[in-house]
Amino acid sequence: MLGAIGSFLVTGAMISAIYALIAIGFTMIFGVGGVLNLAHGGLIMLGAYGFLVVTSSSTVEFLAIPPIAGLAVAIAVGAVASYGLYVGLVEYIEDNPVITFLATLVVALILAELAIVAFSSSPRGLVNLAPGSSGQSVGLRVTNLEIVAFVTSWVAIGLLWYYVTRTDDGRSILATSMSQRGAQLTGVDLPSVKAKTWLIAGALAGLAGVFIGTLQQTSPTMWLDPLALAFIIVVIGGIGSIKGSIVAAYLIGYLETLTVTLLGSGFRGTFSLVVLVIVLLVMPQGLFGREWVHE
């Protein structure tokens, strides 16, 4: 019994840490630019496939770098793609939320189809960063990869927190998310701040892609679940709030773990969706959010 509760607590924490990674980038982009980036799941997918290409010789024969270096590649792929998406597309259309909505979603669909062209539609296995598992001695079943994901997630969140609150460069992002006008008046270069936000969000997405790709699956349809999760978490936490996203990520992570433990994996997402609908109806601004202002 104690072991079961312990396993539940640990498994929940591990999956929640990855959910936090997914949601933070999504919420930052909304907080700073007011844009809901529906291609976020696509960036996560790019990270996973980027990792696949460089670490496994199955795609490019002579290319099989160590998984740790592959992680760096995945982060870079996510960051560059995200940055490119902003300066190549979103920058020109962000004045119209409806068009931005649709365009980013269409980008996600294009990425998914391209993934089918390049890697076929069947799921692929990623090289495990940290094979094996530990914790058996105390009655817990945790894979080493989950531990790595947990630690990496908190390191990433810590670095982000340091950057945003302790450096001038990062503070300009924080300021913009509070008041675009105010930030502009104090001399913040808005386009560069937005581009930086997309870069960071893409990096986090690429990182999350490797963990999701290894723990769940790497396939051309893998963009949808993370996107739905990002939605759910961000709305529950409050759109634009990083703190809210972390709290909500753990809430949803534990809820899903509980659902899977009690009802089986077929109902994994259903309860999160129901919770989302309830939160939207009762407190649409979320736990830590501001009311969405239509400009």
Partner 1 sequence: MSSDTQTGGSLESVADGYNDRFGHLFGELNGPQFALLIGSLVVLLAAPVWTSLLGAGGLLRTLALASIWAILAMAWDIQSGYTGYISFGHAVLSGGAAYTTAMLVAHVNPDLPFLVTAPISVFAALVIGLVIAIPSLRLRGPYFSLVTFVAGLIFYQLTYAFSGYTGGELGQRVGRIEFELAGAQVTTFDPVTRYYVMLVPMLVIAVALLYVARSNVGMILIAIRENEEAVAAAGIDTTKFKIWSFVLSSIPMGVGGVLLAHFYGSVNPLNFLLVDRSIEIIAMAVVGGMSSILGPIGGAFLVIVLREEVLGVFGVTGRWVALWTVVLLVLVFARDGLFRKLWHILGDRGRADGGDDE
Residues that bind partner 1 (CB under 8 A): 36, 89, 92-93, 96-99, 101-103, 105-107, 109-110, 113-114, 116-117, 224, 228, 231-232, 235, 239, 266-267, 269-270, 273-274, 276-277, 280-281, 284, 292, 294
Closest distance between partner 1 and the C-beta of residue 184, in Å?
Answer: 23
Closest distance between partner 1 and the C-beta of residue 98, in Å?
Answer: 6
Q: Assess contact for 226 and 208: CB atoms under 8 A.
A: yes
Closest distance between partner 1 and the C-beta of residue 289, in Å?
Answer: 11
* Shorter beta-carbon distance to partner 1: residue 57 or 121: 121
Closest distance between partner 1 and the C-beta of residue 110, in Å?
Answer: 5
* Shorter beta-carbon distance to partner 1: residue 65 or 102: 102
Q: Assess contact for 226 and 212: CB atoms under 8 A.
A: yes
CA 84/CA 142 separation, integer angstroms:
37
* Shorter beta-carbon distance to partner 1: residue 185 or 281: 281
* Shorter beta-carbon distance to partner 1: residue 45 or 103: 103
CA angle 284, 286, 290 (to 5 degrees): 85
Closest distance between partner 1 and the C-beta of residue 67, in Å?
Answer: 29
* Shorter beta-carbon distance to partner 1: residue 185 or 262: 262
CA-wise closest residue to 39 among 1, 88, 95: 88
Q: Quick one: tokens of 174?
A: 């924080």
* Shorter beta-carbon distance to partner 1: residue 90 or 156: 90
Closest distance between partner 1 and the C-beta of residue 287, in Å?
Answer: 15
Neighbours of 120 (CB within 10 A): 11
